Structure 1
Amino acid sequence: MRVVVEADGGSRGNPGPAGYGAVVRDATGEVLAERCGALGVTTNNVAEYSGLIAGLRAARELGADEAEVRMDSKLVVEQMSGRWQIKHPGLRPLAEQARSLAGSFSRISYSWIPREQNKHADRLANEAMDGKLDPPAVADPSATAASSEAPPRPAEVRSWSPPSTGSPLRMVVLRHGQTPYTAEKRYSGRGDIPLSDAGHEQAARAAARARQLAPDLAAVISSPLKRCLETAAAFGEVPIQVEDDLIECDFGEWEGLTYAEVRERYAAEQDRWLASTAVAPPGGESFQQVAMRVRRAVRRLQEQHAGRQIAVVSHVTPIKLLLRDALAASDSFLYRLYLDPAGLSLVDSWPDGGVAVRVVNETAHLA
């Protein structure tokens, strides 16, 4: 996957209160990720390198293997391209960190752009500088040039508690009810398997519980597969909106097989799949590919239903990825979280990026 990384950084005073910003876009220009953070008191150049590092790290987290970096810092672009030497000892650890990240891409390029074309990253950096984040007390690396230690990693944006004003988008996130494949613990991806009788009963109970958590439901957002549409129908008169990006992972040649059957026939492929979210089952889709479309779906829902209450009916993989992002968790979260059929999770999100995960896989309504 090829992405564009736009990065910037700045300092009020040089050195002074500093911050960085970075944006990752896909080939169409759609924003896939944003990063920004406050750096305390440091220089413009340190902030610009920090933006580059944050952008490269975000691109790798998305599974990109090719990156085009665009910055309005001539210094960083020329130094990372190898045309200019890095004379300031305080920048060398940051440049080395950036090069290490760059080395994980199969192809990477750097280009200078006018500040006018770097507005998004510049805005994020200015928000950090303007005190919208609490800056840590980070000294200017030039003051400790003799030290062998690299400067501390820049703090990224975190939302530890929801904003005190405004109405969030409330998402009651629901896994579909049981199907024959669910009961037999088979890989169930794009196969259009309907609910079992038990699954219909679970869907009715889950819909009733969802209405308690979100009494003013504006819509039910559903994967296009039968098992989700039948679960969504249990909400009665609430309008159903089909969201194709919430479809289950494509398990390719493993579709319909049990874990034991896959282990017997595809042991090496399964080991690689379990070891990396970038690896897909034979003929299927990787978790990183699923994550890309789930993020697209969530962004659309945040735009279309800001301040409303909605139910989201989907599958194990998309829901795990949604919750991983909401909790800012690592990939290991995907392998440790269990989601029951018709289990409910509850996520509130605000326009400024604040997120509160209130419930994960509640199942008391099924007892």
Structure 2
Amino acid sequence: MIFLYADGASRGNPGPAAYGVHIVDASGAVIAEMGEALGVATNNQAEYAAVIAGLRFLTQTPHRVLTIRMDSKLVVEQLSGRWKINNPQLRELADQAKSLLLEFEATLEWIPREENFKADANANSALDKGNFSTAADSQLELASIQPRSIRAPRQYLEPTTIIVVRHGHTINTEKNLVSGGDGTDPALSELGSAEAKAAAIEIPKLVKLFALPEPAIVVHSPMLRTTQTAEAIAQSFELDLQADVRLKEIGFGEWEMMDMAQLETDSLDLVSAWRGSLVSAPPSGESVNQMKDRVWESLGEIIESYRGSCAVISTHMMPSRAIAAAALRGSDSIFWNLNTSPGGISVYRFFGIEYAEIFTLNYCAHLQQK
């Protein structure tokens, strides 16, 4: 049996907040002390963060029987299922805590505040002096589950690193022909194959540069050009490949294989209506919204499946923009203004689908001519 003492502190409620954790065994020997500042949060949010952090740490240890002690009646009763959770933010945190609790034989116990003084002191120490952890056997650094910027909102989901690679050149790319997801399926050209190999060599360097986890999977559009790009990357890391039809390029319908300059001359009104619109579609083609919805659905599943890890996505121009739009949460102009070069690499860290850090967009240094 071990005892997890958890507490939160918020100066302003909401205001600058932090959590504190104090974990001991039955004899009172300290297993771990930790604290982390959370930015602006309420006291209840900080208390939930303490429980989540303590349980996350304990999942990396053999300890599975524990008592969680808190001086927060609200958190104890809500996690025990006796009180309803009306606040949507607390409900999300409670869901995360309950998911972690499934791995333990745990008892929740309310204690007077004076008996929780060590966890309280750890929370205030984190506010005053910065984050800390005395858990020598912990493999998960506090910073690894938080955005790198102190100005970013604090997160409670373990992040997923997503590396997006646009496929290399094809003969259609080189001829400036419209090439989408429902037309011909060209292979990489000689230049495109070289770009795919260069991306495969560059990805480990970027992973090391940004101190991110190494890729665990390569998910790709089933089209030939993206499959060949994915194969080059997978071979570099000795990884499995997973095809996902939702990552195909947007369907250009009747515009497939048309010269872009000629298309703008012959169908200027249609092209002008399509550009900048999320709902207009080429004749017999696909709208940006239709493409975005399927790409975001796939992205959400990848994020959920590879929390704490890294997935490489080999895809096309418009799906690459859709993923960037999910990360940036900016205006619709992202779908038209963001350049994604053949062989270009973008690196993100997603905390669920709602928040992301962007490490680099359309990184192309590896594509420079020597």
Mapped pair 1:212 → 2:205: yes
Q: What is the correspondence of 1:178-189 to structure 2 with a 5 Å cutoff?
A: 178-189=169-180
| Aligned match for 2:168, one of 177, 183, 195 | 177
Deviation at 1:274, TM superposition (A): 1.3
Q: For residues 179 and 269 of structure 1, do their structure 2 counterparts lie closer, same or farther at Cα, with a shift above 3 Å needed?
A: same
1:234 paired residue number: 232
2:341 paired residue number: 340
Partners of 1:164 and 1:248 lie apart in 2 by 32
Deviation at 1:221, TM superposition (A): 0.7
Deviation at 1:267, TM superposition (A): 1.8
Q: What is the correspondence of 1:25-104 to structure 2 with a 5 Å cutoff?
A: none
Q: For residues 353 and 276 of structure 1, do their structure 2 counterparts lie closer, same or farther at Cα, with a shift above 3 Å needed?
A: closer
Deviation at 1:241, TM superposition (A): 0.7
Deviation at 1:303, TM superposition (A): 1.6
Partners of 1:127 and 1:305 lie apart in 2 by 23
Deviation at 1:238, TM superposition (A): 1.2
Deviation at 1:124, TM superposition (A): 2.7
Between structure 1 and structure 2, the one with the greater Rg is 2
SS in 2 for 1:217: coil
SS in 1 for 2:261: helix
Q: For residues 365 and 332 of structure 1, do their structure 2 counterparts lie closer, same or farther at Cα, with a shift above 3 Å needed?
A: same
TM-score, with structure 2 as normaliser: 0.56
Partners of 1:313 and 1:202 lie apart in 2 by 13
Partners of 1:247 and 1:358 lie apart in 2 by 24
For 2:88, give the aligned amino acid: L
Q: What is the correspondence of 1:1-367 to structure 2 with a 5 Å cutoff?
A: 124=88, 161=152, 163=154, 167-190=158-181, 191-214=184-207, 216-235=214-233, 236=235, 237-351=238-352, 353-367=354-368
Partners of 2:280 and 2:91 lie apart in 1 by 36
Deviation at 1:265, TM superposition (A): 2.4
SS in 2 for 1:311: strand
SS in 2 for 1:173: strand
SS in 2 for 1:245: helix
For 2:215, give the aligned amino acid: L
Q: For residues 230 and 123 of structure 1, do their structure 2 counterparts lie closer, same or farther at Cα, with a shift above 3 Å needed?
A: farther
Partners of 1:230 and 1:352 lie apart in 2 by 28
Aligned residue pairs total: 224
Deviation at 1:255, TM superposition (A): 0.6
SS in 2 for 1:205: helix
Q: For residues 352 and 302 of structure 1, do their structure 2 counterparts lie closer, same or farther at Cα, with a shift above 3 Å needed?
A: closer
Any gaps of 5 or more consecutive residues in structure 1? Answer: 1-16, 18-118, 131-158
Partners of 1:292 and 1:259 lie apart in 2 by 26
Partners of 1:331 and 1:179 lie apart in 2 by 28
Please list the CA deviations of residues 273-292 of structure 1 after superposition, one character each: whole Å capped at 9, or x if unmatched: 11411000001000010010
SS in 2 for 1:188: coil
Please list the CA deviations of residues 66-100 of structure 1 after superposition, one character each: whole Å capped at 9, or x if unmatched: xxxxxxxxxxxxxxxxxxxxxxxxxxxxxxxxxxx
Q: For residues 200 and 127 of structure 1, do their structure 2 counterparts lie closer, same or farther at Cα, with a shift above 3 Å needed?
A: same
Indicate if the aligned counterparts of 2:168 and 2:196 stay in contact, CA closer than 8 A: yes
TM-score, with structure 1 as normaliser: 0.56
Identity of aligned residues (%): 30
Partners of 1:209 and 1:125 lie apart in 2 by 39
For 1:218, give the aligned amino acid: A
Indicate if the aligned counterparts of 1:162 and 1:356 stay in contact, CA closer than 8 A: no
Please list the CA deviations of residues 114-172 of structure 1 after superposition, one character each: whole Å capped at 9, or x if unmatched: xxxxx99x6537669x9xxxxxxxxxxxxxxxxxxxxxxxxxxxx96264787521111
Any gaps of 5 or more consecutive residues in structure 2? Answer: 1-13, 15-83, 95-149, 208-212
